[in-house]
């Protein structure tokens, strides 16, 4: 099987100085394989590495990161076919998450699983979103 990792340019306005995490933790932000793009879980950090306090801004930042990866591959959010989001304190944060999600994701909707969890890699992270997109034939 041939796979193609997606590289985030070091001058990315969306990722900023956070691109070093991919190398440090040993993973690709996304991988193209079999006409699909598999996007690793994206967290809601700002380009300077700081983490917003609100679920709304963290959700927006995570979705902007996914949107940027798609743009690099000449895809759009409408190319998404499957999404999984991981939520700390899901019952508390779900309304704010859904408000932001509605601004980014429109019909026809991708499949989406929302999973409540006890924590993420850093205590200030409230959400992580991974996604799969399909390339047009």
Q: For residue 19, what pLDDT is reported?
A: 75
60 neighbors 89 (Cβ within 8 angstroms):
no
Spans of all domains in the chain: 4-134
- pLDDT > 90? residue 29: yes
Q: Which residue(s) pair with 121 in the sheet?
A: none
DSSP 109: P
- Reported CATH class of domain 4-134: alpha beta
Contact in structure between 18 and 112 (CB atoms under 8 Å): no
Query: pLDDT by residue (tens digit) across 70-87?
Result: 999 999 999 999 999 999
Check whether 15 has a pLDDT greater than 80.
yes
């Amino acid at each position: 099987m041939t796979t193609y990792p997606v590289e985030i340019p070091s001058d990315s306005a969306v990722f900023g100085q956070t691109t070093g995490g991919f190398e440090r933790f040993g993973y690709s932000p996304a991988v193209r394989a079999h006409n699909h793009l598999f996007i690793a879980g994206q967290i809601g950090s700002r380009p300077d590495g700081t983490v917003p306090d609100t679920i709304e801004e963290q959700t927006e930042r995570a979705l902007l990161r996914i949107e940027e990866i798609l743009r690099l591959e000449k895809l759009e959010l409408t190319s998404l076919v499957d999404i999984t989001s991981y939520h700390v304190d899901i019952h508390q944060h779900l309304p704010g998450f859904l408000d932001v999600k509605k601004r980014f994701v429109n019909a026809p909707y991708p499949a989406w699983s929302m999973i409540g969890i006890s924590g993420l890699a850093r205590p200030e992270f409230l959400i992580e979103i991974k996604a799969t997109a399909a390339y047009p034939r």
